[in-house]
Amino acid sequence: MRATDFRPHRLLRNAHLQSVLASSGMRRWLFRGRRQALEAESSELILDCGDGVRLQGFHSAQHVRAAARGLVVLLHGWEGSVQSSYLLHTGARLLSEGWDVFRLNFRDHGQTHHLNPEMFHSCRLDEVVGALQELARRFPARPLAVVGFSLGGNFALRVALRAPAAGLPLSYALAVCPAVHPPSILDAIENAPWFYHAYFMRKWRESLRRKQRLFPDAARFSAAELGTSMRELTATMVARHTDFGSLDAYLDGYSIAGDRLADLAVPATILTASDDPIIPVHGFHQMKLSSCTELEIAPSGGHCGFIRDFSLRSWTEDFIADRLGRLAA
């Protein structure tokens, strides 16, 4: 299966429509049965990720095979959660095919703001590596794979890059529309139709307000600061709550552009779309990748969309199942 196999219905080829449908409430309603099946098999875990950091996730054990094909850890995008449609649908598909599934919430995503006093930012890689190390200890089923979407795809690839040095027995990583070059992504959101910026900022402001209510003694953000743009609010966060010193240094801190993945030793697949309105495709063409990293670029699909027809099922589920099936074989 290749990215060029994705051929959406002609009325669904618009990149913005693909991107919006990916997380639409309609998909949640249509596939509520699959979602309920996954959640019925899920148990909550609070993981010790080192340095006092705790992260929440949900483990689902398969029951269709005598033994699981392995464990797949799913990572959501920025301001998503383990309840995001794409994570639930992918998890349900993998569970039905005999994989154990673990959906991990990043710090301050979902309903986890109370677990850690310091706020989330995209350079908090150590705790995500720590979460997978804890999962590898608790669930020895192999192979262990990680699949991420958008910012979660960025984390998945950085975890894979770190895995050998961290002693993490990771067998495979798959990233769907991963965030490659953060400065270009910020530019793209600012130049995209207004609703992208409004969508992300609404969710981020709600998250920051929740954090402030839980930890009122820590200096956070004023109402005026919360009303600024994504670029301005990110710069304020970096100055006040990180040691990076500048917005540019922070954005570079989680970039995987250029040759950042050239030494990746864990087999990995990157799936993206040429028309992604959030993650510019030119960043993928400029990457220097290792021989064990596969890059698949579809002509269309939007941002984490890949909606094939009016059933609203995402073709990414087929692609992910195919690649993981090869791993299990």
Domains of the chain (ranges, CATH numbers)? 3-181+257-328 (3.40.50.1820)
Provide the pLDDT confidence category of residue 30 given band limits of 50, 70 and 90. low
| 233 vs 25, higher pLDDT | 233
Q: Is 150 a catalytic residue?
A: yes
- Spot the catalytic one: 150, 171, 255, 300: 150
pLDDT at 27 > cutoff 90: no
CA distance 226 to 213: 14
pTM of the model: 0.94
Given the residues 100, 108, 275, 276, the one annotated as active site? 276
User: What Rg do the C-alpha atoms of the chain give, in angstroms?
Assistant: 19
Q: What percent of the chain has pLDDT over 70?
A: 98
Residue 29: per-residue pLDDT = 67
Q: How do residues 161-176 score in pLDDT, each as one tens digit?
A: 999 999 999 999 999 9
Residue 110 has pLDDT above 80, yes or no: yes
- 35 pLDDT tier (thresholds 50, 70, 90): confident
Q: Is 259 a catalytic residue?
A: no
Distance (Å, whole) CA 188 – CA 182: 10
User: Residues 191-231: pLDDT tens digits?
Assistant: 999 999 999 999 999 999 999 999 987 768 888 999 999 99
Handedness of CA 202, 186, 122, 15 (dihedral sign): positive
CA distance 323 to 165: 25
Q: Is 303 a catalytic residue?
A: yes
